[in-house]
Amino acid sequence: MTLALRALPALAGWLALAATALPAGSAIRVAPVALFLLLGPGAALLAFCGPALGGHRALGPAESWDEGFERDSDRIERLVLAVGLSLSAAVVCATALIAAQAFSGPRVLIALTLLTTAAACAPRPRKG
């Protein structure tokens, strides 16, 4: 996976951050922010940890009636894992800001965008 492709979640985060300058409650503001919060940090963390997940493939059914089972199963697994990682990162970030008595929506978004950018630009760990 190239750096340009890995940087897409970070770019989505910066786009979501820029969208906060739009009027509150508008769909043009809500859509990129919600999409980033749902998938952005998890996709970047998943791309960072990807080599560790590559060794465990889904086993297909005993019959060979579904040729694309392994491929589709891995895609669904990565999507669900990205959503779970994103929501977990958002909760941890919000909890840390609440504990520091510095919580606000834009601050959570800034912290998650910085986390996503760091995960997208970090070199991948080696398989081993």
**pLDDT cut 70: percent of the chain above it:** 81
What pLDDT, in 10s, does the model give residues 24-65? 888 899 999 999 999 999 999 888 887 666 666 666 555 666
pLDDT of residue 62: 57
d(CA 4, CA 73): 26
Within-domain flag for 62: no
**Is residue 72 predicted with pLDDT exceeding 70?**
yes
Within-domain flag for 64: no
Within-domain flag for 57: no
Within-domain flag for 104: yes
Within-domain flag for 63: no
Within-domain flag for 58: no
Within-domain flag for 93: yes
Domain that holds residue 97: 3-52+71-121
Alpha helices per DSSP H over the chain: 3-6, 8-19, 27-53, 69-99, 105-121
d(CA 106, CA 92): 15
- Here the tokens at position 121 are 């630009």
What pLDDT, in 10s, does the model give residues 106-121? 999 999 999 999 998 8
pLDDT band at 127 (very low <50, low <70, confident <90, very high): low
Domain total for the chain?
1
Within-domain flag for 59: no
